[in-house]
Structure 1
Amino acid sequence: MPPGITTLAADAPTLSAANTGFMLICSALVMIMTPGLAFFYGGMVRVKSTLNMLMMSFISLGIVTILWVLYGFSLAFGTDIGSFIGWSSDFAGLSGIGITQLWDGYTIPIYVFAVFQLMFAIITPALISGALADRVKFTSWALFVALWVTVVYFPVAHWVWGAGGWLFELGVIDFAGGTAVHINAGAAALGVILVIGKRVGFKKDPMRPHSLPLVMLGAGLLWFGWFGFNAGSWLGNDDGVGAVMFVNTQVATAAAMLAWLGYEKLRHGSFTTLGAASGAVAGLVAITPSGGAISPLGAIAVGAIAGVLCAMAVGLKYRFGYDDSLDVVGVHLVGGVAGSLLIGFFATGGVQSDAKGLFYGGGLDQLGKQAVGVFAVLAYSLVVSAVLAFLLDRTIGMRVDEDDEISGIDQVEHAETAYDFSGAGGGATPRTSGSTPVSDSTAAAQTKKVDA
């Protein structure tokens, strides 16, 4: 994603109605990815955690939007301060921006750029939530989101995309968020789960997805919205780069889905719907940083490699004993690392920039730059996220009580259930003040006794 650049008056762009409309549509597409993610994650958890999982994504739409307007946009895309952070008083509160004032060097209003970037900021912490399913207090999660975007996402977005950000100045290529979004979220997820620990019954009790149709619906919405996420990140549609990114997004996603299914069939003997959905997301993650630098043939390679690597990575949690509930580390961290590093091999030098990868005569220079970006973001997000989780856990507590986790976090945190098993209508199981929460299965059994 190109940052704002200063232009001479004679070269100053004029507002393009076509590009402005295109970017507003792309912003809406990226917005729908967060509800899509909620469905994707919500279908993967057990019945008793469905609503909580949905809410952990939806709350990001509220919290991050307000913080972005107040100071987030300024920190991420304001005037550079020491290559680490930005700040512009005109951007704080979006109060000093004219409605037709253009984003530097582009033909879209600053307001349009700000709202497009807002949607990226919203979905990034929502991605983390999948690793924490079943066991985190909703209030603690909401506070974590507010703190995390402030001290992790906003600075990292400036490093990668802000004018003067140190990774951008180094020449690290990240078209739409392999480092700033996916590695950032995946590393944060790993940092938090190392602090809060495993779910009750991890590796002992079955924790199968309760609704694979919801998972597939969520994956479809993510795939659909990702075209805005990726193609829109060129901030216009005048030179064909966005079109290449659109094609590569489709190609890599298809390749990753097929590769995941192939690995799954060889390894476990079946083609699963969960594998198809997860493989598609892995491909979307991997092409996000790389799609503007490679050819469609390169996109096939990137997607296939990411599909196999992510399929292999999701099983590591059982080997190493960390409870990444919905495979955020295995898909987003591993997929983001793969996609970012593979630029160093497959960059053609003929699309987004003239930087070439190893297979196109560019040597190891670009691979080295990509590695710096990958591991800098990974280390920063991992450490700071773990510290934030530790501080919250020691003060207000991050986890629900063990009994509440077993009985159902939906009941405890939201006083509702996702499905009415009694057939009597209503979404919540009646509770009296101070009473012990009743699980879905228990409520159904009690109702049957009453009916009998």
Structure 2
Amino acid sequence: MKNSIVFLVLLIAISVLAVFMPAVPTTIVTEGINSGDVAWMLCASALVLLMTPGLAYFYGGMIDTKNIISTMLQSFVAMGVISVLWIVVGFSIAFGDDLGGAGLIGNPATYFMFSGVLDAPLFGTIPLVLFAFFQLKFAIITPALITGTFAERIRFKSYVLFIILFSLFIYAPLAHWTWHSGGFLFKMGVLDFAGGTVVHMSAGFAALAASMYLKSKGEEKHTMTPANVPFVLLGTGLLWFGWFGFNAGSALSAGALAASAFATTNTASAAAGLAWILFDMAKGKKPSAIGFCIGAVVGLVAITPAAGFVTIPSSLFIGTFAAIISNIVVHWKSTKTSLEDTLDVFPCHGVGGAVGMIMTGLLATQAINGANTTGNGLLIDGSTHLITIHLLALVIVVAFSFFGSLLLLKITDLISPLKVSAEEKKAGSDYSQHGEKLFPLDFTMKEEIA
């Protein structure tokens, strides 16, 4: 209850502060705007936001019935929490003026409470405010991805606190490193077209940290039967659809580069979905709906950093091999380790993002995106520069995301205990955390019969 009061008071204080911020300028910059680019980026931003409800269905369909509402709400509440945080200070930390010239973090005061965003110069051919809200959708889905790791095992209030800390101290700095012109990874020449490093690797290795931190000694691994496979199919469809905004939108204009990224995105996902179920069949398993859905998402993850840098045939290769590698890691994690990554976030997003980052270093070509590509990949002309800096960046991002998340989990746990009790886990998070049930009538009848 005390934590809830603190959050409420903080939100009220932010709301009051917003009233006294400087008024919106009477003159908003319009010269140089390309209306076609603006229209596309508005659509792309909406598509990316749709991915988070898609993720809610994707995860919700895989979990136990008694945890569906809680699992889905964790995705939806990120839309509220991160939206407010982004306005207050998140955008400044990610894309504000480089603080100290070290390329590590943006100045929190640059766009504090979105001051100066509306009257700022254009970002290319679109208003800065549109770029800021496009990037907000990336910031929303990243912590939501992690929820698949600790679904049914974490207290809701602790989850909210963790995603606030993660967004401020892991996601926003990574975005600054990679996408801001002053970021040190950007200056190194690291390529991440749409977030394979910033979004998927950060979430995937935070998931690995969470699965290790939340594991109790002597506790047996919990196996689940998916509650609603059609939910998983629906979620996959929404993710695939929204991912066109995620990747093609990262061109930041309605042109040939966006079309190329659109095509590589679809191709990689299609190839990965097929590769996953074919690999399962080669091992003697039946081709499952869940398998195709997971494979398709892995393909989307792996193509994300490379989408605007590789050819369409290369995306076929990326999707196929990312699915096979992630499939192998899922099997290894399930059979050879005690890790309880409930919905395989680490093998799919952490490993998938890492594969995509390496593939970008191997297959990026200036023929697709000469203006923004810092060199050709190793398999294109034998150049070792790009793959070398990508491997170095891989180590840096993995270490930062994993150890940083471990520290934030510990801090969160000290402030608000993370794990639900054994009784709460037995009752299910829907009821213990939110006082709701998926089938209230059925539960009432069972209680009366008992």
Q: TM-score, normalised by structure 2?
A: 0.89
Q: Give the AA of the match of 1:223.
A: W
Distance change (3 Å), C-alpha of 1:186 and 1:206: closer
Gaps of 5+ in 2: 1-29
The more displaced of 343-352 and 296-305 is 343-352
Q: Deviations over 1:327-363 (max 9, x none)?
A: 1001000100001101122122211235211211142
Contact preservation (8 Å) 1:90, 1:97: no
SS in 2 for 1:289: coil
Q: Deviations over 1:209-250 (max 9, x none)?
A: 110000110010000000000000011123x11110000000
> 1:124 corresponds to which residue?
142
Q: Of residues 249, 264, 267 in structure 1, which corresponds to 2:283?
A: 267
Kindly state the Cα deviation for residue 316 of structure 1 after the two structures are TM-superposed: 2.5
> 2:427 corresponds to which residue?
407
Kindly state the Cα deviation for residue 315 of structure 1 after the two structures are TM-superposed: 2.0
Contact preservation (8 Å) 2:158, 2:412: yes
SS in 1 for 2:98: strand
Q: Deviations over 1:261-313 (max 9, x none)?
A: 11111114210000010000000000000111111110000000011111111
Q: Give the AA of the match of 1:270.
A: K
Counterpart CA distance in 2 for 1:46 and 1:313 is 23
SS in 1 for 2:118: coil
Contact preservation (8 Å) 1:79, 1:163: no
Q: Give the AA of the match of 1:416.
A: E
Residues matched between the structures, number: 415
Note if 1:35 corresponds to 2:53: yes
Q: Of residues 70, 73, 86 in structure 2, which corresponds to 1:68?
A: 86
Contact preservation (8 Å) 1:102, 1:108: no
Q: Give the AA of the match of 1:96.
A: G
Counterpart CA distance in 2 for 1:98 and 1:46 is 45
> 2:346 corresponds to which residue?
329
Q: Of residues 225, 237, 240 in structure 2, which corresponds to 1:208?
A: 225
Q: Give the AA of the match of 1:127.
A: L
Counterpart CA distance in 2 for 1:36 and 1:270 is 25
Counterpart CA distance in 2 for 1:382 and 1:448 is 48
Counterpart CA distance in 1 for 2:75 and 2:220 is 23
Contact preservation (8 Å) 1:219, 1:281: yes
Note if 1:256 corresponds to 2:272: yes
Gaps of 5+ in 1: 1-11, 423-439
Kindly state the Cα deviation for residue 110 of structure 1 after the two structures are TM-superposed: 0.6
Moved over 3 A (4+): 101-104, 198-203
Contact preservation (8 Å) 2:244, 2:262: yes
> 2:446 corresponds to which residue?
445
Q: Deviations over 1:17-41 (max 9, x none)?
A: 1111110110000001001000100
Kindly state the Cα deviation for residue 448 of structure 1 after the two structures are TM-superposed: 4.3
> 1:188 corresponds to which residue?
206
SS in 1 for 2:152: coil
Q: Give the AA of the match of 1:366.
A: L
Distance change (3 Å), C-alpha of 1:201 and 1:41: farther
Kindly state the Cα deviation for residue 206 of structure 1 after the two structures are TM-superposed: 3.9
SS in 1 for 2:136: helix
Kindly state the Cα deviation for residue 409 of structure 1 after the two structures are TM-superposed: 1.4
SS in 1 for 2:438: coil
Q: For the aligned residues, what is the CA RMSD? A: 1.8
Q: Give the AA of the match of 2:308.
A: G
Counterpart CA distance in 2 for 1:210 and 1:379 is 35
Q: Of residues 153, 157, 163 in structure 2, which corresponds to 1:135?
A: 153
Counterpart CA distance in 2 for 1:303 and 1:199 is 37
> 1:224 corresponds to which residue?
241
Note if 1:233 corresponds to 2:234: no
Contact preservation (8 Å) 2:268, 2:315: yes
